[in-house]
Amino acid sequence: MTWMPVRAGTYAVTALVLVSSLAACGGDDDTAPVAVAPQTPSAPAGLGSVDTAPVPDAATVIPFIDTIATNERGDARYATLQTNAGVRVLGGMLDVWKPSTLLVDAGQSAPANGNFPAVTPSTWTGIPGDATDGTVLNKSVHDANIQTVVDMTKARTADQATLAYLDDRRGKAYSVTDALGPLADAWRKAAQQVTTVNGVPADATTVKYEDEGNNRGVGGTANPTFGLVVDLIGNMGASASTEPAKRFYKYARPYRWSTNVVVLPSLVPAKSATPGTDGGFPSGHTAEAGRNTLAMAYVLPERFEELAARGVEMGESRILAGMHSPLDVIGGRIQAIAAVAANLAAIPPATRQAAVAQARTAMMAATNTTTLTDLYAAAHAGTPATDRFADYSVNKANNLRRHTYNFAQIGDKTKPAVVPKGAEILLETRLPYLTADQRRVVLKTTALPSGYPVMDDAEGWGRLNIFAAGGAYGAFNGDVSVTMDATLGGFHARDNWRNDIAGAGKLTKLGSGALRLSGANTYSGGTEVKAGTLEAGSVTAFGKGDVYVSGGAVVADTTAAVAMAGNYTQLAAGGLQLRLGSATSSRLSVAKLATLGGTLTVTFANGYRPAIGSTLTLITAGSLTGTFSTVTVNGYRVTPIYTSTGMQIRIDA
């Protein structure tokens, strides 16, 4: 072996493996040893197919995105489950509760229209137990639904009470802007949003307060730097009212079901005096918050997950207030997702893109940033003390709990997820480097389990988990190729997949951008890096398969060794970058064969500096062959040391 110093901290390495060549029978004893290169393992094969998420057959499943305009009341054509999209998407409620009539008729009439007979107002009083009440079909779910409100309202904290009041009385579009964290004030200023409800007034228990501010903000040409953003968000309310469904399902508010529900005293003045037109299912506040936050996440995807989390949080505020039940807010969430997808699709792509550009430009100006990568950093510069959505793990746990509220699964638990027509538009700006088909697969692999009350609609809206989809794939059930063009900036240049990725498929990284994997991954089809950068942000980032670097670079940036369950192969065009925050962090632990080539670069982080004369183990393996062509260690001159089972560096100076 010959070591040739190239520059400080850099060494060129050449190596030959010598084996004896012997004749199969009666071989010549004078046969000389022949120098041969070690055999390089092949790239992981993967499954050889891609996953898909086909659109449900429109002949049997009517697409919400095509029929949202039917979500109206006062029109006899749209008074039934079959003819009203907003009612139909929540049809799972009929497994729990059967209203007294199956029409949009609570306090509502509609003249005959063609072949559709006139609708006369129902006699439903809104008071459970009256002769006009409906029928509980699943007592255990219904009882759990109301008991959850009882338990939560009795246990609510002072902070929860304040937020519940603000989320009730304050304009919803304004209220949810706190999900923007460090960008909240800049957004409100750009949109020209104001509120007059900034706390709980002293006499709130006797006076019903209304927000007299500008909830939406100023749109159109009157706001040339942000009007397109305001208009796009406002358009999400088109044909999105929860009133048709409320007047169809005729399900009372929780405090009418049980006197043990403790309505927030400051909201007692806001209780409706006409229960016959005041159904609880679905929650209008939740739906409106969902529409606002999902539209905001579309135009400002730098806060995508935080906004998605805020939308479902407002649903919980409604429960804590005593105004709605878990089923009510689940229904509001489902309607919101469907309405945003449908209304976004109705906006021309160029108009959508212009609104996104306007939002980002305004926020970059407010944060003195010049790139989308810097804007992302500015958007996440807060701490839990200043940004209550700063902790991703807390957001993740809260989001999951708020989707199911611990209901038992009453239906088939094994139904595969389906993705509604057009739902992929919700991820268009968050995962712009994926194809529309890939975004559909993301929605499928992050969907909630089947069987929960209300959530198993035929199209699949109820099981979508938008927060989780913001973290990309939940499983590689087919091979996944990702091409990221760093010149396009933003998520094209750098992204972080935070989900725990399962499945038997393979990941192939292409393009010049950098992708980080941060989940507890178990996918087994292998990983191939052909271009750009693939970062390990967790010790199991690369799952359980082989890792093959034919170009680009693998980066280890973890608190412990990156575990590679199979082989690690790095060809001459590949690179490995280790960011060491300690003597034991960001190393490679290869279970099988490590085949080395290409370059190694070591940098140090978090103030860690190794001592002169110390030896650092960088790779351990079941067996190791080959060497790096160059080894660069930032700020040091080193000697690489290779053994049959690992690689080290000695810090010389």
Mean pLDDT in order along the chain per 10 residues (653 residues): 34 33 36 53 96 96 98 98 98 98 98 97 96 96 98 98 98 98 98 97 96 97 98 98 98 98 97 97 98 98 98 98 98 98 98 98 98 97 96 97 97 97 98 98 98 98 98 98 98 98 98 98 98 98 98 96 97 97 94 98 95 97 98 96 98 95
E strand spans, 349-412:
none
Same domain membership, residue 478 and residue 371: no
Same domain membership, residue 208 and residue 333: yes
In this structure, the chain runs to a length of 653
* Contact between residue 588 and residue 558 where contact means Cβ atoms under 8 Å apart: no
**pLDDT tens for each residue of 334-356:** 999 999 999 999 999 999 999 99
* Contact between residue 642 and residue 627 where contact means Cβ atoms under 8 Å apart: yes
Last residue of a domain, one of 352, 372, 407: 407
Count of C-beta atoms within a 10 Å radius of residue 1: 8
Same domain membership, residue 399 and residue 480: no
Exposure of 194 by Cβ count < 10 A (0-12 exposed, 13-18 middle, 19+ buried)? middle
The pLDDT value given to residue 117: 97
Same domain membership, residue 476 and residue 403: no
Burial 547-581 (b: 16+ CB within 10 A, else e): bbbbbbbbbbbbeebbbbbbbbbbbeebbbbbbbb
3-state secondary structure 37-71: CCCCCCCCCCCCCCCCCCCCCCCCCCCHHHHHHHC
Please compute, for residue 52, the number of CA atoms within 13 A of its CA located in the half-sphere on the CB side.
4
Same domain membership, residue 521 and residue 399: no
The pLDDT value given to residue 23: 31
Copy the structure tokens of residue 190.
């750009």
In a domain, 536, yes or no: yes
Q: Which domain holds residue 395?
A: 72-268+280-407
3-state secondary structure 236-267: CCCCCCCHHHHHHHCCCCHHHHCCCCCCCHHH
In a domain, 587, yes or no: yes
Residues 6+ apart with CB under 8 A from 365: none
Burial 273-289 (b: 16+ CB within 10 A, else e): eebbbbbbbbbbbbbbb
The pLDDT value given to residue 40: 84
What is the Cα–Cα distance from 352 to 265, expressed in whole angstroms?
Answer: 42
Q: What separation in angstroms does the CA of 291 have from each of 62, 341, 344? A: 22, 9, 11
Same domain membership, residue 390 and residue 522: no
Q: What's the total number of domains in the chain? A: 2
Same domain membership, residue 497 and residue 365: no
**pLDDT tens for each residue of 524-568:** 999 999 999 999 999 999 999 999 999 999 999 999 999 999 999
What is the Cα–Cα distance from 595 to 571, expressed in whole angstroms?
Answer: 8
Beta bridge pairs of residue 615: 650
In a domain, 81, yes or no: yes
Beta bridge pairs of residue 643: 646
Same domain membership, residue 396 and residue 528: no
In a domain, 461, yes or no: no
Q: Say which CATH number the domain at 109 has.
A: 1.20.144.10
Secondary structure (DSSP) of 396-409? HHHHHHHHHTT---
What is the Cα–Cα distance from 341 to 320, expressed in whole angstroms?
Answer: 28
Any alpha helices (H) in 505-635, and if so which ranges? none
Going by C-alpha positions, the residue among 348, 254, 335, 349 that lies closest to residue 289 is: 335
- Residue carrying the six token digits 């493996």: 17
In a domain, 207, yes or no: yes
In a domain, 3, yes or no: no
In a domain, 417, yes or no: no
Last residue of a domain, one of 355, 378, 407: 407
Last residue of a domain, one of 407, 436, 452: 407
Same domain membership, residue 378 and residue 511: no
Residues 6+ apart with CB under 8 A from 602: 577, 578, 580, 618, 631, 632, 633, 634, 649
The pLDDT value given to residue 77: 98
Same domain membership, residue 393 and residue 247: yes
The pLDDT value given to residue 9: 37
Residue 423: what residue type?
A
Same domain membership, residue 149 and residue 257: yes
Same domain membership, residue 526 and residue 398: no
The counts of H helices and E strands in the chain are 17, 23
The pLDDT value given to residue 542: 98
The pLDDT value given to residue 38: 57
Handedness of CA 382, 386, 389, 393 (dihedral sign): positive
Query: Can you give the pTM of this predicted structure?
Result: 0.93
What is the Cα–Cα distance from 315 to 98, expressed in whole angstroms?
Answer: 23
**Which value, in Å, is the radius of gyration of the alpha carbons in the chain?**
29
Helix (H, G, I), strand (E, B) or coil at 435: coil
* Contact between residue 604 and residue 581 where contact means Cβ atoms under 8 Å apart: yes
Residue 350: what residue type?
A
In a domain, 424, yes or no: no
Helix (H, G, I), strand (E, B) or coil at 543: coil
